[in-house]
């Protein structure tokens, strides 16, 4: 009988892969095609620069043996983690139509300022 340890399975390929296919116009980055989650995305990979905003995921690329232009991707920070949640996150709209611009306090103050008076104002010409 053969030993079970001799029949090891080969390591599975990463499901997040990048194909490098060119250099950016400024020469500081690379044009890539990224295959992940059953989709293909076109983009650029650039080095992080201190003081500059991030434009997407922060990733670590590991070139494959025999094909250095094909890299396995390890996501360090997802772009979804970089976006702060909005104040209205989780709320659902209670009514249909456009947003309510005027609150009831606004309307009350409007009426207090612009209300047409009773008998006293009717006696005035203007």
Q: Give how far Cα 33 sits from Cα of 19, 38, 68, 78, Å.
A: 5, 13, 14, 17
Q: What pLDDT score does 64 carry?
A: 93
What percentage of the chain carries pLDDT values higher than 70?
71
Beta bridge partners of 33: 19, 42
Cα angle value 104/107/111 (rounded, 5°): 140
Q: What pLDDT score does 1 carry?
A: 47
The mean pLDDT value of the chain amounts to 80
Q: Domain for residue 6, yes or no? A: no
Q: What is the mean pLDDT of residues 55-81?
A: 90
pLDDT band at 89 (very low <50, low <70, confident <90, very high): low
Q: Domain for residue 110, yes or no? A: no
65 pLDDT more than 80: yes
- The number of beta carbons lying within 10 Å of the beta carbon of residue 123 is 7
Q: Domain for residue 40, yes or no? A: yes
Euclidean distance between CA atoms 20 and 63, whole angstroms: 10
Tokens of 52: 């500059």
Domain that includes residue 68, residue range: 17-80
Domain count, the chain: 1
Q: What pLDDT score does 110 carry?
A: 81
> Has this prediction a pTM greater than 0.75?
no
Cα angle value 99/105/111 (rounded, 5°): 105
pLDDT digits (tens, 9 = 90+) for 5-45: 545 544 555 589 999 999 999 999 999 999 988 999 999 99
Q: Domain for residue 117, yes or no? A: no
Q: Domain for residue 52, yes or no? A: yes
Q: Which of 46-50, 54-58, 87-91, 104-108 has the lowest mean pLDDT?
A: 87-91
Can you spell out the DSSP letters for 33-80? EEEETTEEEEEEE----TTSPP-S-EEEEEEETTEEEEEEEEEEE-HH
């Amino acid at each position: 009988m053969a030993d079970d340890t001799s029949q090891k399975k080969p390591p599975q390929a990463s499901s997040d892969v990048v194909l490098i296919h060119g250099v950016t116009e400024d020469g500081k980055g690379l044009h890539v095609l990224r295959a992940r989650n059953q989709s293909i995305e076109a983009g650029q990979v650039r080095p992080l620069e201190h003081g500059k905003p991030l434009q997407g995921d922060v990733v670590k690329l590991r070139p494959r043996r025999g094909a250095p232009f094909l890299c396995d991707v390890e996501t360090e920070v997802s772009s979804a983690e970089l976006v702060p949640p909005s104040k209205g996150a989780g709320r659902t709209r209670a009514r249909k139509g456009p947003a309510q611009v005027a609150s009831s306090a606004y309307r009350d103050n409007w009426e207090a300022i612009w209300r047409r008076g009773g008998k006293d104002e009717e006696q005035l010409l203007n």
